[in-house]
Amino acid sequence: MQTSTQTSMQTFGSRLSAAMNQHGPLCVGIDPHAALLRDWGLTDDVDGLREFALRCVEAFGGHAAIVKPQAAFFERFGSAGVAVLEETLAGLRAAGTLSLLDVKRGDIGSTMDAYAAAPHRAELLARRPLGRAHGHHHPRPALTSFRA
pLDDT in tens, 54-103: 999 999 999 999 999 998 899 989 899 999 999 999 999 999 999 988 87
Which pTM value belongs to this model? Answer: 0.71
| Average of per-residue pLDDT across 115-133 | 54
Contact 66, 16 (CB under 8 A): yes
Q: Give the residue numbers annotated as catalytic, written as ranges.
A: 104
Q: What gap in Å lies between CA 73 and CA 31, rounded to an integer?
A: 6
What digits encode the pLDDT tens for the residues 5-51? 455 678 888 998 999 999 999 899 999 999 999 999 999 999 999 99
Domains of the chain: 22-145 (3.20.20.70)
- Residue percentage of the chain with pLDDT more than 90: 50
Sequence-separated (6 or more) residues with CB below 8 Å from residue 104: 111
Q: What is the pLDDT of residue 138?
A: 54
Identify residue 11 by its one-letter amino acid code: T
Q: What gap in Å lies between CA 21 and CA 120, rounded to an integer?
A: 41
